[in-house]
Amino acid sequence: METTDPRLPSAHLPQWLVRRRQFLGAMGLASLAPLAHAQPAFPARPVTIVVGFAAGGIADTLARITASLLSQQLEQSVVVDNRAGAGGTIAAALVAKARKDGYTLLMASNGHAVNATMMKPLPFDAVEDFAAVGGVAQTPLVVVVRADSPYKTFADVITAARSKPVPYGSGGAGTLTHLLPELVASSTAASFTHVPYRGTGPAIVDLLGGQIEFVMDLVQTALPQVQGGKLRALAVSSRRRSPQLPNVPTLAEATMPGLDAQGWYGLLAPAGTPAAVLDKLNASLDKALADPAVAARFAALGSTPIAGSREEFMTLLRSEVKRWGDIVITKKITT
């Protein structure tokens, strides 16, 4: 029987007992080693995409398509959680403070970049508190006027607006439908009068009624009225012409060479999420967006996929924060 006190330091023990302790200790560590590294592969449970707007809008629709695509690629459930309110900042704050494990993502859009300047102070930094997963889609705006409008081209609108202010409607202060006309005005010496609405639907109603002269609306929402002959499309805001409106020139062709200003959507995760997790999400997203069937599905919404690296999407976010932030500051735009 071993009678030596086991609490004694090794220096006071017989060598045979020291060796026995070392052997048993090594065996114990070896048996624990697999447990220390037995972390489940990502994703081991459902992933959530948080959307800062109500169900039914373009952000929600694209998020649900993306969730379905990622679910197939990751072989794991991906669900959408709508947290509408405060221009999308409620959802962004939730994701910024979520666990840094890749299971909670944000469907971000132009509004996220605009909020960085227009809605200060915020409980998060729109860039530094997030890590890019990747872009999802982009959607151009289209300048529309009444079918009987005297403006036949967007150059006609600019010419008129250099003589006196031309009223236009938007979907609300700080939206892309508001900021893009202001960017055009700043770049062309035109003068526009902004009339904000609660969404572009009411703005289109007043456009048809003659209360305003033009609206810059998302292609997919303006298209039915254009195809129905009630509105005339003058220009689209993408660098290339829209497949839905192939005969309509771009703003770059009409008045502002090089301009490319579109609505965009993409996924962000909390800053500090492991790179391996972000890379897996990005690779899965890119693979899904490369499918021609997905491109066709997006085209029906007036959108095109914007697959690419995580770095490319973060570069887009940073550039959009600056571009729209400059307009917000210059024009003194507030909510």
DSSP 135-162: EEEEEEEEEEEETT-S--SHHHHHHHHT
Here the CATH number for the domain that contains residue 113 is 3.40.190.150
pTM for the structure as a whole: 0.86
Do 241 and 311 fall within a single domain? Answer: no
Count of domains observed in the chain: 2
Looking at residue 25, the DSSP 8-state letter turns out to be: H
E strand or H helix at 287, and its extent? Answer: helix 275-289
Do 83 and 147 have their domain in common? no
Domain boundary among 204, 233, 254: 254
Asked if residue 302 lies in contact with residue 219, where contact means CB atoms within 8 angstroms, the answer is yes
Q: Does residue 132 sit in the same domain as residue 269?
A: yes
Domain membership flag for residue 76? yes
DSSP 39: P
Q: At which residue do the structure tokens 């970049």 appear?
A: 113
Q: Can you read off the two tokens belonging to residue 335? A: 């909510």
Domain enclosing residue 72, as ranges: 47-138+263-331
Residue 248 shares a structural domain with residue 268: no
Residue 195: give its domain's CATH number: 3.40.190.10
Last residue of a domain, one of 202, 231, 254: 254
- Please name the residues in contact with 299: beta carbons below 8 A apart, sequence gap of 6 or more: 243, 244
Give me the tens of pLDDT residue by residue for the chain, a chain 335 residues long.
444 454 445 555 566 555 655 654 544 544 444 444 556 899 999 999 999 999 999 999 999 999 999 999 999 999 999 999 999 999 999 999 999 999 999 999 999 999 999 998 999 999 999 999 999 999 999 999 999 999 999 999 999 999 999 999 999 999 999 999 999 999 999 999 999 999 999 999 999 999 999 999 999 899 999 999 999 999 999 999 999 999 999 999 989 999 999 999 999 999 999 999 999 999 999 999 999 999 999 998 889 999 899 999 999 999 999 999 999 999 999 87
In terms of domains, do 122 and 165 share one?
Answer: no
Rounded-to-integer distance, Cα 124 and Cα 121, Å: 9
